[in-house]
Structure 1
Amino acid sequence: MILLAYLAVGLLAGLIAGMLGLGGGVVIVPALALVFPLLGIPADMLMHLAIGTSLAVIVPTSMSSTYAHYRRGAVDVPLVRLLLPGLVAGAVLGGWLADKLPSALLSRVFGVFVVCVATQIFFNATAPGRRSLPGTSGLLTTGTVIGTMSTLLGIGGGSLTVPFLNYCRVDMRRAVATSSACGLVLGVVGAAVFLWAGRDHPGLPPGAVGYLYLPAFIGIAVASVLTAPLGARLAHSLPVVTLKRIFAVFLAMAGLRMLGVLHF
């Protein structure tokens, strides 16, 4: 039964990752937070294991979706390179902070921000972006913020990357594709940090390597890589306005979950 739950989560996470560039964390983390107590995993390490496992799953999922987008020429490789240093630095910082700070208050504050962004995107889906992309230093700062918040909260970089790029007049499909590539970077660095941080934690459950729970990782990843290309195909076939509004709905759901309004 647990295996079927992992597979179902993976199928949905892959579809969302490919279509919206969200990485799948918006589905994986809350799902694992529900499943792990059934396995007897202690509450004090539950969220760390959920986030670490989610970040690890994002790696193969993002590889699958990024390749599908890249084949369609939608990934802005030069932009990814400019964001890369900040993403890496932020992912390391976020992983370190996750082990030091109580994230409940931060999660609620960020949840309000995400809901506001989602509302703006939904009701202004036909409006163009308001500014052009910033320079190198601006992209470095942006990448650092995205990397830090994504790894700290386990939400996936797309929750910030896609709205930022769309605000900067980047086409929605290109924003989703580029976000998928950024998610790959965040997944690799973030998962490595969580593996390292949890390496000596006493009482890790069988099957855990650091803050990575291998049975969940395998079950979710196998399914997610199958549906990520389908999600990418949908991203390139749906009207841009429709894609924006679907993205806004999922983003709002993620924000409401952070605020404790939704429980899923």
Structure 2
Amino acid sequence: MLSIEWILLYLVLGAFVGFMAGLLGVGGGGILVPILVTIFSYQGVGQESVVHLALGTSLACMIISSSSSIYAHASRGTVVWKVVYEMVLGIVLGAFLVTHLAADVNPTYIAIFFALFMALVAGQMFLNWKPKPSTNPTKLRSLFVAGTLIGMVSSLAAVGGGFLAVTYLSYKNIDIKKAIGTSAAIGFPIAIAGTVGYMISGWSKTLNEPYTFGFIYLPAFLVISIASFIAAPLGASCSNNLPEARLKKIFAIVSLILSVKMLFSVI
């Protein structure tokens, strides 16, 4: 049941995720999805598809956060638009297709995948691992394939693709600042395609659930999006005054703990 308490909780969650996104330049899926699974479970929303609802709602929230992120990076000239254009078709294809496949996958398997993926992200943050640059030239076909894989994984884990995209673009000898900016731009089509896919694939499965639009829970989407949009600039303004490396480790630990909690709540 939807009440003012849940609305306030969504407001706090959105503000926290938006602040962290602005502060660290990372997506909030690692925190947002596990918490939404818990909140939806307590609310009694979509008990049979609570993980799918959390994934779809998180991706919908990303549309707002990624659009503001694109503007910030584009204004600094750190988006390599040629790479975005050559990857976007694969990204949209991968993200859209995987949402239809995920609709019929056991939520436990998705939770396991999410937990393992977040463990990988946490490990990369801790070790600050970066691939050795490739000596091979970047080709359109390789960008399309990479975009498809990034779109698929990102939609299944409800993340913007930042971890995968930055790693891949760094491997392709793109400057780290431009890799981060380009990754932010890549997150937008992932969010759009993933959201549309989860809306369509969940349409018949949530007809009896109030306030849902496919696998999107509208109250959570609206409140979290507004709060994160307002809080993101505050996080960005604080980024120069706080120890980013330490905060990323804390963010990784929290995301991993919440992911494991989600896994055990679904099993």
TM-score by length of 2: 0.82
CA RMSD, aligned part only? 3.0
Which residue in the other structure is 2:163 paired with? 159
Q: Which of 87, 91, 96 is the aligned partner of 1:92?
A: 96
Matches within 5 A, 1:1-264: 1-102=5-106, 104-105=108-109, 107-108=111-112, 111-112=115-116, 114-116=118-120, 118-124=122-128, 129-132=131-134, 134-233=138-237, 237=240, 243=244, 246-247=247-248, 250-251=251-252, 253-255=254-256, 257-260=258-261
1:111-162 Cα deviation digits (max 9, x unpaired): 446534543453346xx75114742211111111111111122233223223
Q: Given the superposition, is the C-alpha separation of residues 117 and 59 from structure 1 closer, same or farther in structure 2, using an over 3 Å criterion?
A: closer
Partners of 2:77 and 2:25 lie apart in 1 by 15
Partners of 2:88 and 2:32 lie apart in 1 by 24
1:25-55 Cα deviation digits (max 9, x unpaired): 2222112111112222132121111111111
Q: Given the superposition, is the C-alpha separation of residues 145 and 58 from structure 1 closer, same or farther in structure 2, using an over 3 Å criterion?
A: same
Partners of 1:117 and 1:26 lie apart in 2 by 9
Q: Given the superposition, is the C-alpha separation of residues 205 and 113 from structure 1 closer, same or farther in structure 2, using an over 3 Å criterion?
A: closer
Partners of 2:224 and 2:33 lie apart in 1 by 11
Q: Given the superposition, is the C-alpha separation of residues 141 and 157 from structure 1 closer, same or farther in structure 2, using an over 3 Å criterion?
A: same
1:234-260 Cα deviation digits (max 9, x unpaired): 56x479xx6466446534654554455
Contact 1:64 1:225 in 2 (8 A): yes
- Runs of 5+ consecutive residues of structure 2 not aligned to the other structure: none
TM-score by length of 1: 0.83
Partners of 1:166 and 1:76 lie apart in 2 by 13
Sequence identity (%): 35
Q: Given the superposition, is the C-alpha separation of residues 252 and 207 from structure 1 closer, same or farther in structure 2, using an over 3 Å criterion?
A: same
Tell me by how many angstroms 1:22 deviates. Answer: 3.2
Q: Given the superposition, is the C-alpha separation of residues 110 and 202 from structure 1 closer, same or farther in structure 2, using an over 3 Å criterion?
A: closer
1:193-237 Cα deviation digits (max 9, x unpaired): 1111122225532111111111111110111111223444556x4
Partners of 2:149 and 2:249 lie apart in 1 by 20
Point out the more displaced range, 148-157 or 201-210: 201-210
User: How many pairs were matched up?
Assistant: 259
Tell me by how many angstroms 1:8 deviates. Answer: 1.3
Amino acid at match of 1:91: A
Contact 2:91 2:147 in 1 (8 A): yes
Point out the more displaced range, 254-263 or 50-59: 254-263
Contact 2:84 2:186 in 1 (8 A): yes
Contact 1:115 1:256 in 2 (8 A): no
Residue 225 of structure 1 aligns to a residue in which SS? helix
Tell me by how many angstroms 1:80 deviates. Answer: 1.4
